[in-house]
Structure 1
Amino acid sequence: MDARTGVELRSMADAVLQPGFVGKEPPPWLRRRLAEGLGGVALFARNVVDRDQVAELTAALRAEKPDVIVAIDEEAGDVTRIDAYTGSPWPGNLALGAIDDPALTREVACHLGRDLAAAGITFDYAPDADVNNDPNNPVIGSRAFGAEPERVARHTAAWITGLQEAGVAACAKHFPGHGNTSVDSHLDVPLIKAGRADLEAVELIPFRAAIAAGVQAVMSAHLRVPSLDPDLPATLSRRIMTDLLRGELGFDGLIVTDGIEMRAISDRFGLANAAVLALAAGADAICVGGEHADEETATMLRDAIIAAVRSGRLPQERLADAAARVARLAAWSLAAPKVAPDPRAAAVGLSAARRALRISAPEATFPLAAAPYVIEFQPQLNLAIAPETPWGLLAPLAELVPATTGVRLSSSEGLPDALEASGDRPLVLVARDPHRYAWMTQSLKGALSARPDAVVVEMGVPASPLGDVHIATFGATAAAGRAVAELLAGRS
């Protein structure tokens, strides 16, 4: 290793990191690291107030490094960062898949891309290209376009095309597929038992479509697929990241890891070691900062990468290749033409949410005859969803029908009191993935036994409809809530 490689090595190790940080403006350590060559920054809900503030934040980042990659996890659905405190104005992937109009999906993604680009964001950790073929999946669900691989594939391609037309790099996730599992990789290591033939017939189809559509990046999944690699999770597997994704599928863009601090990886391999193993396996960028958004973590990862190169654990050529791919994505982002946001975008989102509604009800059910009482059943949300993000029907319905009241329950304990409080008013029961929660299903059945006239609104992955009046929204976004509220209030 010659003398010049000390500075070079430090620069390359910094280039492959995409850390998060705390605050609404860049802290001093982040400014310093950007000036030293940090390749990217990941924004989370904690960094967002509104679009004007985000634009100021990203301008401050670029003042230190003009070509910095500014990434965000914005799926335009239940997982939203730019609208974490208001809820997404878009219907979300599952709703778009239910509508099954790829032109609409492309339009929605293009509007989103314009919005992100105007705020200075260049890289979106989206779309979710997973096939949600396990209905009990605790972390994908409504984030997927559906459970049919061909449907997911055509909407994945349309979403990528629309987003990148607006000048924002798309990132298909979570390779090689996170849909066929009932384990959340934020908490443990999911196991995909499918054989290679099954993977080809299901999970890999949307990723092939994403690559054909010119996706700029692919995100790895922290899960084990023994048919592809019996020993290592995908993020750390050269067989999966390099041999399969690069070799067989022919992907030549940026490979970025899912959050390297997620317990599926960090509990077993350690944070720094996992980053090194991911780079050695073929990843080009390390996303970190959900829980470890500080200078110490960013420094630890950089130093671990440098030490791994010096010890021979990580070939310098592999690190150089990764840094070059980061630079190539940054150059694409700088050169991509940007288009100003369209003032009609909000109307497009709400219209799409209306089109997604699936309604089973007798004639003349809507509008409701009087101001309703709303009971919302609160599930345990996965860690991909910002806890600040509002959802439900009580707030948007009360805005249209001010006398609307109600309650949110996180168990069946308060149901008798809620039913008594509803009196003889119209009753609306709002659930999110009730098929995954025995208490929620039993609560719905109990409420319908007492009030068979109740309206049931499912704001997640719909299962067998309960009740004579049933509405499925295919997601819990603000747009979905508004669309149902308008229907119940007679405003649609």
Structure 2
Amino acid sequence: MSVEQKAGQVLMPLYTGPDPAAQAATIERLHLAGSIIMGDNVPLDANGLANPAGMTTVNQRLSQAARADGRPWPGLIGVDQEGGIVTRLGAPLTEWPTPMSYGAAGSMPLARDAGAAMASELAPLGFNLDFAPSSDVTIGPADPTIGARSMSGNPEQAGQLAVAFSQGMQAANVLPVIKHFPGHGSVTVDSHQALPVQPASIADLEARDWKPFRAAVAAGVPIVMTGHIAVPALEPGVPASLSAPTYATLRGMGFKGVAVTDALNMGAIQKQYPGGSAAPIALAAGADLLLMPADVGQAHAAIVAAVAAGRVPAARLDEAATRVATMMTWRGRTASSPGALPGAGPGSSGDMSARVSAGAITMVSGPCGGPVAPAGVRIAGGSDQDRARFAAAAAKAGLSIGRGPLVTLIGNGGRPAGGDIAVTLDAPWPLAGSAAPVKVALYGRSQGAFDALAAVLAGNAAAPGKLPAAVGSFPAGTGCP
């Protein structure tokens, strides 16, 4: 491969709008690794829903472009599909609750099955990489970025669940990405806006944030994402994604796969490294794949120029391009192996998603047996869709709407609530200040999640979940026995 081809092989850009023609042309011209699909790239049908056939056509075109220069390995077609608020492909694909559901349910087999189910709907559309799961360990409400995207506030559990979910995804032919090393759940600034600083010592990082990554590396995960977080104990003032000591630390854990940066168009990078200037710095530091540069043409030219000037050793570019090519060659082989799970149709995993929510729902405060609302309830809070879904679930559970205890639904970023029953639909933190005597953490707003809630309120099902992180005075592990 020429230097220009290798420089393209380490770049994975985004584009705007549902038409992939310009992106395909750019992939061919710059020999790019492939493309990430964002929400505005998803073709929609007449009802405003995702169009699976249209998405498949888009991904086929981008994949063809990535192989136009004769490379024998597949191009990268990626997406951010975690479940909860980070979901690019909506209905008719299955809607999933927040990843914190897995920590509340506390079941590795459940997390593995869910990862496989999610991936089984993505693979037939042409996706071979999903930027999930997050293995960040959340510290609670002071964490503005990760929150319920974290599976747990317990480092060991977060690692075990991330590994299980990743193994499920790989079994269904989608490459998982463990993120965001060196840990985004314990910093108090959102890297989409500015550069967070992680003041913890190496010993503290080893005891908390790095444990899930060590578990993932030991399990052989193929990709780890580095976050835009400055860690003075490693390299003061420099985002981890652009820091050689950070990559050396990750490799020191035994990681031999592809190290990918978080999106290079985020505020934490663009404010200090505009245009394409971050790309050669990240590459020289040890990144193998550079995600979403603000201007991919500038980034490509900057890498080629940096190699020519010796600022990026030619051997470093060779190493990065080889890692990406090796991973995709391996993925191409395993996807056609006899043990690979078959793809599934859009929306085919609704029962699995509902099972996750039924296993996660947590009675933080209130009765652990019998009906909480014997005959009916009133509803407040949430969105119109939340209330409609709850009403449908209540009807199924035999609860009337309009009379009885007041159920207040609290969405993402919502405030503590009064009434009789407070229910969080995302991170459970608002329950700490809620005056309602009954406090329920649901971790999702899918129809399956509301079905689980109504079943518990009606006394038709137990609430088996446990808090995966402390919520005010309620310690982690709070829940019904």
* Aligned residues of 1:132 and 1:147 also touching (Cα < 8 A): yes
* 1:130-161 CA-partner distances (Å, limit 9, x unpaired): 11124321110111111111111111111111
Q: 1:77 to 1:206 in 2, by over 3 A?
A: same
1:303 aligns to what SS in structure 2? helix
Matched, 1:28 2:22: yes
Cα pair 1:254 1:329 within 8 Å, conserved: yes
The within-5 A match list for 1:114-263 is: 114-241=120-247, 243-246=248-251, 248-263=252-267
Q: TM-score, normalised by structure 1?
A: 0.81
Picking from 455, 475, 478, the partner of 2:421 is 455
Cα distance, 1:193–1:88 mapped onto 2, change above 3 Å: farther
Which one is further off, 31-40 or 111-120? Answer: 31-40
Answer yes or no: is 1:98 the counterpart of 2:77: no
Equivalent-residue separation in structure 2 for 1:400 and 1:231 (angstroms)? 50
Alignment partner, residue 302 of structure 1: 300
Query: Structure 2 counterpart of 1:15, which letter?
Result: Q
The residue type paired with residue 275 of structure 1 is A
- Aligned pairs (5 A) from 1:402-417: none
CA distance in structure 1 between the aligned counterparts of 2:272 and 2:444, rounded to whole angstroms: 33
Q: Distance in 2 between matches of 1:287 and 1:483?
A: 38
Quick one: which amino acid aligns to residue 437 of structure 2?
D
Instruction: Give the 5 Å matches for 1:272-283.
Output: 272-283=276-287
Summarize the Cα distance change of 1:225–1:68 in structure 2 as closer, same or farther, 3 Å threshold: same
Do the aligned partners of residues 213 and 479 (structure 1) sit closer, same or farther apart at CA in structure 2, a change above 3 Å counting? farther
Q: Distance in 1 between matches of 2:79 and 2:35?
A: 9
Map 1:261-272 onto structure 2 (within 5 A): 261-272=265-276
In structure 1, distance between residues paired with 2:393 and 2:58: 35
Corresponding residue number in structure 2 for 1:288: 292
Shift of 1:9: 1.5
Aligned letter for 1:192?
A: Q
Alpha-carbon distance in 2 for matches of 1:278, 1:477 = 38
Whether the aligned pair in 2 keeps the contact of 1:14 and 1:302 (CA below 8 Å) is: yes
- Matches of 2:405 and 2:96, distance apart in 1: 28
- Choose which of 81, 87, 94 in structure 2 pairs with 1:74: 81
8 Å Cα contact 2:371-2:456 kept in structure 1: no
Measure how far apart 1:25 and its partner are. 3.8
1:181 deviates by 1.2
Letter of the 1:233 counterpart:
P
Q: Distance in 2 between matches of 1:471 and 1:71?
A: 35
1:2-22 Cα distance to aligned partner (Å, 9 max, x none): xxxxx8121111111111112
Aligned amino acid, residue 54 of structure 1: M
Match of 1:408 in 2: none
> Could you say which residue in structure 2 is the equivalent of 1:51?
52
Which residue is 1:315 aligned to?
A: 313
Deviates more, 1:258-267 or 1:8-17: 8-17
Residue 250 of structure 1: how far off its partner (Å): 1.4
Name the structure 2 match of 1:396. Answer: 389
Is the contact made by 1:393 and 1:482 (CA closer than 8 Å) also made in structure 2? no
Which residue number corresponds to residue 439 of structure 2? 470
Amino acid in structure 1 at the alignment position of 2:216: A
* Aligned partner (choices 314, 320, 331) of residue 333 of structure 1: 331
- Find the aligned partners of 2:343 and 2:321 in 1 and give their Cα distance: 32
CA distance in structure 2 between the aligned counterparts of 1:192 and 1:216, rounded to whole angstroms = 26
**CA offsets per residue over residues 92-134 of structure 1, 9 Å max, x none?**
3211111111011111111112111111111111110111124
AA paired with 2:341? Answer: V
Query: In structure 2, how many angstroms separate the alpha carbons of the residues matched to 1:257 and 1:232?
Result: 13
Identity %: 32
Q: CA deviation at 1:356?
A: 0.6
Structure 1 unaligned residues grouped into runs of 5+: 1-6, 379-390, 403-421
Range with greater deviation from structure 2 (461-470 or 183-192):
461-470
C-alpha change, 1:392 and 1:470, in structure 2 (3 Å) is: farther
Moved more, 171-180 or 323-332: 323-332
1:90, 1:478 within 8 Å by CA — same for their partners in 2?
no
SS of the aligned residue for 2:221 comes to coil
Residues 136 and 460 of structure 1: CA distance in aligned 2, closer, same or farther (over 3 Å): farther
The letter of the residue matching 2:389 is P
Instruction: Report what 1:430 is aligned to.
Output: 409
Say if 2:115 and 2:166, in contact at 8 Å, map to a contact too: yes
Number of aligned positions between the proteins: 433
Q: Name the SS for the 2:198 alignment partner.
A: coil
Q: Distance in 2 between matches of 1:264 and 1:298?
A: 18
Q: Which structure carries more helix by proportion?
A: 1
Aligned to 1:4: none
Contact 1:373 1:425 in 2 (8 A): no
Q: Distance in 1 between matches of 2:427 and 2:442?
A: 9
CA shift for structure 1 position 306: 1.2
Alpha-carbon separation, structure 1, partners of 2:96 and 2:435: 26
1:62 is aligned to: 63
Residues 104 and 362 in structure 2, CA contact (< 8 A), matched pair in contact too: no
